[in-house]
Amino acid sequence: MHPIVDFATGCSAEHGLKYEARVDRPGRPGGFTRNRRLVMFAIVYKSDGVPICVQMPGVSPDPVVVWSSESAAKAFIESKGGGKEFQPVSVNEQAMEKMAKALGCPIEKLMLEPYPS
């Protein structure tokens, strides 16, 4: 497994594809929750389903990064050369359960963080 450039390791499962949190955003006011009814896509490792996460001080598990469209998620994967290792998945209850299991945490603990546009 190879980390994608411009990303830091440290996701709860210690995979290499993740983006850094925006420093100009204190706290998480208005952050996404799993009950919000928006179409979102996460990017996961094809091999084990671990999603891309972002480290946020004092937050555990690391929030899962989401994109507003499948095409945006695919473009991000391709821009980092990760087409063979990663795939976008629509965020729904079943996908959230799989991501929680891959991260080793209860689904209720998962938070979503939108990728900055």
Residue 6 lies in a domain: no
Residue 71 lies in a domain: yes
Looking at every residue in the chain, the average pLDDT score rounds to: 75
Residue 72 to residue 92: CA distance in whole angstroms = 18
Residue 78 lies in a domain: yes
* pLDDT single digits (tens) 8-63: 333 444 444 444 444 444 444 333 334 445 689 999 999 999 999 988 889 888 89
Quick one: pLDDT at residue 43?
95
Residue 103 lies in a domain: yes
Place of tokens 């079943």: 94
Residue 113, pLDDT above cutoff 70: yes
Q: Which residues of 91-105 are buried (b: 16+ CB within 10 A; e: fewer)?
A: beeebbebbbebbee
Number of domains in the chain: 1
Enter the pTM of the model.
Answer: 0.68
Give the residue numbers spanning the domain of 91.
41-114
